Amino acid sequence: MERLLTLSLRYRFFTVVALLLVIVSGVWSLTNLTIDAVPDLTPVQVQILTRSPALGPIEVEQFITFPIETALSGIPGLQEVRSVSRYGLSAVTAIFEEHLDLYFVRQLVNERLTLATEHIPAAYGRPMMGPLSTGLGEVYQFTLTGMGHSPMFLRTLLEWDIGRRLRAVPGVVEVNIWGGETKQFQVVVEPSKLLAFNLTLKTVFDALAQNNALAGGGYIEHEREQYLIKGEAMASTITDLGQIVVSHGPGGVPIFIRDLGEVKEGAALRIGAATRMGEGETVIGMVQMLAGANAQQVVKRVKERVQEIQATLPPGVVIEPYYDRTLFVSKVINTVRNNLLEGGLLVIAILFSFLGDIRAGFIVALAIPLSMLMAFTGMYHAGISGNLMSLGAIDFGLLVDGSVVMIDNILRRLGNVTRQTKEEKLATIQEAAREVLRPIVFAVGIIIVVYLPILSLIGLEGKMFRPMAMTVIFALAASLFFAVAGVPVLSYWFARARPNHEETWLIRRLRRLYRPWLAISLNRPAMVVIPGILLFILSLALGFRLGIEFVPRLEEGDMAIQVWRLPSVSLTESVETALGVERALRQFPEVVQVVTRTGSPEVATDVMGVDMSDVFVILKPRNEWTTTTSKEALIEKFKTAVLAAVPGVGLSFTQPIEMRFNELIAGTRSDLAIKIFGEDLEVLRHQGDGVARALEQVPGAADVKVEQVTGVPRIRIIVDRDQIGRYGLSARDVLGIIEAARVGQTVGTVFQGQRRFDLIVRLSDETSAGPIALGNILIPTAHGELVPLSRVATIEVDEGPAQVSRENIQRRLVVEANIRGRDLGSFVTEAQQVIRDRVTLPPGYYLEWSGQFKHLQEAAQRLAVVVPITLLLIIAILSVIFGTIRPALLIFLNVPLALSGGILALWIRDLPLSISAVIGCVALFGIAVLNGVVLVSRIQRLETDGLPTRDAVAQGAMDRLRPVLMTALVASLGFLPMAIATSMGAEVQRPLATVVIGGLLTSTALTLFIIPALYGSVCRSNKQPSIPHQSHTSTTSI
């Protein structure tokens, strides 16, 4: 560092150029920095999705899910495997260690899927990996409406035109579709007509496959040119399909496809729907962003492309966005920007008040933008996004502290000389800077060191707080560089020597107030020591009464309501229910828009049955609410209105991003999840009901829900092997008829330009109107007879599973709940006791507590290691600074008293103890010991100069009053806007800022009164301290 100081003063022009380059680099990095509201907490994971319309949940689990889970086992770095098997759909989620590269992981999974596919029958579907996106990937959602246009037309337009053009936008990985109807070309066969013509379904399948094809005949050379030979027999219209010949009747009369039933454009069986504002069904497009892309830039490009697309759409068709995450990001970033700006202005005001020199104040103030720009450069190259967490712990007071020390000592030394040449001024500045160089390095070093253990955090809390720690370290390192290299050079050109470096009126008044109280603490140490001890004991008592939570809930401004019904409900009924919910909600003046997604989308990244819906409620800003000003009260009013309009539904209230994160991280959507593991689904359901009943008795429990795993009505058609043998049939003959009855069999593809649609053969709707109608389906035998299905199979109506959920190759059921009106920690403690008392699980069954509580436990275990390491590092550095343990331990007393202030501040503001607050405590520890170093080092310097210990303590305390107060004020006021802000995102920063401000208040009192009172008995020594200090007239911070 001394060499850096010497070179910067010797080559002043190049130093300024270097600072300008820092500015350019920082501005460029800032403009290219990924900006988001919160860090992406999504684990390194891969989803494997498989569609199989012919299979139920148990069969999906048996034939698809289990082979995939087995194939994934043993992949290096695999931590967890979760899966959901529902009717027609398998979704397997593989979660890996966070240090692994997502692209590498997907390659490993793809290799294993090749093995799994060998064990999955081809007719049951092909596993595909989900989009390369994350929990923050759903950046833009819109509805497609068009008066006079059918849902099939709108979905086709979205799928083949709008979706394709949006996927071409850089950064967009998928455009998922909800609602509408998937277009098919359907041949709906009448069984009676098959009977009349003595034909079978297989004959129809073969005819369509053989008459809907292309052929290539190579090429010929003709008249010195080459002609390609191409045979065309592709059907592209309903007329083409209807004219395909199936067979010939008596006299060679052709039997066409149109003679056997109806050829039409029909809709595939739906597994989801979408509605809007209670007005009817719509089609939803959800733009998913590529993992690691810049959300602001991607959404900007998407909006530009949407405008281009809108101009080309048919008349009356409109793209209406209802969710744009950049609006939320902008509000949160505005909160961060305002907090930093206000904090910076407060810090600068304190600097001018204490320094009393405008030029010096401006030089020091430059440390703030330059440090931030250098931090932005570091963030860009480290891949850290600018968000609420990464920028939420930057305190401008800390960034200017080193520069304050440097400029203050330079002004003091310049003020001691009346007239100087340029060379003499340069030498004076260099000598003044050299005097405080080591103290500055130690001061910044202590703060950096306390953040280093945070870099060891892993898991969810690591994703949240590691970027914050790295950003603070970048900014502090930059501030150190500016203090050492920039301030001396700028002081040479702009600093003005002021004789005797007079103090401001504010400092003189503070000294007069402090002197008598200092005398009391020196004469009667017990009067300050005993209150300090009592304060610490009181804070410990209050600390045990604080609530506990993982992290404060980030208010997103909008709501997401999960609606669930009985598993037996039909999609049509679910749509009617969703419309009723929307009509009830749109009556509230706070509601801007309501959009509902029911069931699963085309790419089933969000696995839901038709009995479940996600209702997105877009709200006005809170200052425009009229029904109530409290979100909790608004939720209750929403709930009352919905249940009055649509009785019997279950409701769970959360937020869009929060819901998605909960689902991706823990496999559930609520704050708390209780997972019950076991084999039998009925036993799991019974135990889940018992846990839910017990949980509902705990105060604070809201939206308690049991995962619905049973209760789906089904018609089972069990092939009678004796009967099919008697009629010369195979099981495949019977099963083929069952498939054709409703789902149909795909026999080809119909192309219309770039669009392609499945060609399906199925029986008429009358054949699948109910169990009796199904039993009457006629099946042709090998002997030319026709037998009803009921004669060769047993038809039963019963209830079956709705879904099968698994975790680490074990079946499990989840009981979910949200928590309102109390903290997470106390709620879980009480809930665990209640469930232990009321629920007894059978042998082989066990439960786990998951959701945010699980992450809270994991974070607490890691912080139990990180915090002691931080404290040991502080003691070690203090011992190095002073060369002995006694002054180190005396200064270390700042830590518990600072902690006392932090706990008291949380209690006064009724804030629970969260991981954010604990991280604030870690940051506080470093700041708190600085003032102790300032004071004790000064006292030791005076002792070395020959003053008696008592006089040295009194003189040192008075000398260091200004730097101690300045350090505490700039550090605390830098956090003040974060502590009192109420705008969006402020709740996440509030606990950290509150702890730091409260802790600095008490630790400053300790520094000014308790350390002087105890120094004589603890640290009496006339030895030379291990670091150099200024003369007794210095008023610098260190």
Q: Is the pLDDT of residue 1021 over 70?
A: no
> Which among 317-326, 435-444, 521-530, 603-612 has the top mean pLDDT?
317-326
Q: Comparing 79-83, 326-330, 435-439, 744-748, which segment has the lowest mean pLDDT?
A: 435-439
Q: What is the DSSP letter of 811?
A: B
Query: How far is residue 1013's CA from residue 1004's CA, in Å, rounded to a whole number?
Result: 14
Centre a 10 Å sphere on the Cβ of residue 784 and count the other Cβ atoms it contains.
7
What integer is the mean pLDDT of 775-796? 84
With 80 as the cut, is the pLDDT of residue 392 above it?
Answer: no
Q: Tell me which residue has tokens 């998928």.
A: 174
Q: Are strands 44-51 and 89-96 parallel, antiparallel or unpaired?
A: antiparallel
Q: What is the mean pLDDT of residues 301-316?
A: 93
- For the cut 90, the answer to whether the pLDDT of residue 305 exceeds it is yes
Strands 612-619 and 591-599: antiparallel
pLDDT band at 377 (very low <50, low <70, confident <90, very high): very high
Say how far apart CA 824 and CA 637 lie, in whole Å. 24
Q: Which two tokens stand for residue 558?
A: 């909008």
What φ, ψ does residue 703 adopt, rounded to 5°? 55, 40
**Average pLDDT in the 765-785 region?**
80
Q: Model's pTM, two decimal places?
A: 0.83
Mean pLDDT of 76-88: 91
Of the listed ranges 83-87, 500-504, 675-679, 864-868, the least confidently predicted one is: 500-504
Strands (E), 223-362: 225-233, 245-248, 254-256, 261-267, 272-276, 283-289, 317-324
Per-residue confidence band for 1026, with pLDDT thresholds at 50, 70 and 90:
very low
Domains of the chain: 1-32+357-488 (1.20.1640.10), 33-132 (3.30.70.1430), 183-268+713-801 (3.30.2090.10), 513-545+883-1038 (1.20.1640.10), 559-709+804-852 (3.30.70.1440)
Nearest to 133 by CA among 645, 605, 680, 820: 605
pLDDT digits (tens, 9 = 90+) for 143-152: 999 888 889 9
In this structure, the strands spanning 183-189 and 755-763 are parallel
Question: Which residue from 955, 952, 945 is spatially nearest to 1024, judged by alpha carbons?
Answer: 945
Q: Is the pLDDT of residue 746 over 50?
A: yes
pLDDT of residue 502: 58
* Gap between the Cα atoms of 496 and 491, Å rounded: 8
Q: Residue 154's closest CA among 304, 325, 276, 298?
A: 276
Other C-beta atoms closer than 10 Å to the C-beta of 929 total 28
Average pLDDT over residues 791-805: 89
Is the predicted pLDDT of residue 1036 greater than 70, yes or no?
no
Burial 252-275 (b: 16+ CB within 10 A, else e): eeebebbbbbebebbebebbbbbb
| Cβ neighbours of 654 (radius 10 Å) | 23
Q: Which two tokens stand for residue 887?
A: 């002054």
Q: How many residues does the chain have?
A: 1038
Residues 6+ apart with CB under 8 A from 164: none
Q: Which of 902, 877, 898 is nearest to 887 (CA)?
A: 877
For residues 639 and 581, give the distance between their C-alpha atoms in angstroms, rounded to a whole number.
10
pLDDT at 503: 63
- Burial per residue of 732-752, b for 16 or more beta-carbon CB atoms within 10 angstroms, e otherwise: ebbebbbbbbebbbebbebee
Element (H, E) at 364: helix 358-365
Q: Say if residue 585's pLDDT is above 90.
A: yes
pLDDT band at 284 (very low <50, low <70, confident <90, very high): very high
Res 312: pLDDT: 92
527-543: per-residue pLDDT in tens? 888 888 888 888 888 88
Q: What is the mean pLDDT of residues 94-99?
A: 90
Residue with tokens 């005001």: 349
| pLDDT the model gives residue 529 | 84
Instruction: Count CB-CB contacts under 10 A for residue 510.
Output: 16
Strands of the 283-289 sheet, one edge to the other: 172-179, 283-289, 138-146, 317-324
Give 211-257 pLDDT, tens digit per residue.
988 888 888 988 889 999 988 888 889 999 999 999 888 888 899 99
Band the pLDDT of 1001: cuts 50, 70, 90. confident
pLDDT at 1032: 38
The more confidently predicted of residues 463 and 301 is 301
Which string of DSSP letters, residue by residue, matches 404-465?
Answer: HHHHHHHHHHHHT-S---HHHHHHHHHHHHHHHHHHHHHHHHHHHHHHGGGGG--HHHHHHH
What pLDDT digit, counting tens, does each position of 121-171 carry?
A: 888 889 999 888 887 788 999 999 988 888 999 999 999 999 999 999 999
> Which contiguous run of DSSP H or E holds residue 96?
strand 89-96
CA atoms within 13 Å, Cβ hemisphere of 662 = 23
Structural contact between residues 9 and 489, judged by C-beta atoms closer than 8 angstroms: yes
Tokens of 2: 């001394």
Give the per-residue pLDDT at 1038. Answer: 37
Q: Are 98 and 459 in contact (CB under 8 A)?
A: yes
Residue with more model confidence, 678 or 400: 678
Decide if pLDDT at 1028 tops 50: no
Mean pLDDT within 272-291: 91
Element (H, E) at 184: strand 183-189
Instruction: Return phi, psi of residue 279, to 5°.
Output: -95, -10
Closest CA to 294 of 32, 470, 658: 32
Which tokens is 361 given?
């104040």
Alpha-carbon radius of gyration of the chain: 36
Q: Among 180-184, 368-372, 873-877, which is the least confidently predicted range? A: 873-877
Whole-number pLDDT of residue 2? 77
pLDDT at residue 385 is higher than 90: no
| Contact criterion met (CB below 8 Å) for 220 and 167 | no
pLDDT of res. 1037: 36
Question: Which tokens is 707 given?
Answer: 């995962």
φ, ψ (nearest 5 deg) of residue 222: -140, 120
8 Å CB contact between 475 and 922: no
pLDDT digits (tens, 9 = 90+) for 621-639: 888 899 888 888 999 999 9
Indicate if the pLDDT at residue 696 is higher than 60: yes
| pLDDT tens per residue, range 888-912 | 888 888 888 888 888 999 998 888 8
Neighbours of 317 (CB within 10 A): 19
Q: Name every residue whose Cβ is closer than 8 Å to that of residue 887 and which is 6 or more positions away in sequence.
A: 878, 936, 940, 1018, 1019
pLDDT for residue 48: 93
Residue 1003's pLDDT band (cuts 50, 70, 90): confident
Task: State mean pLDDT over 327-332.
Answer: 84
Q: Is the pLDDT of residue 549 over 50?
A: yes
Q: What is the pLDDT of residue 172?
A: 93
Q: Of 278, 244, 954, 847, whose CA–CA distance to 588 is shortest?
A: 278
Residue 499 has a pLDDT of: 56
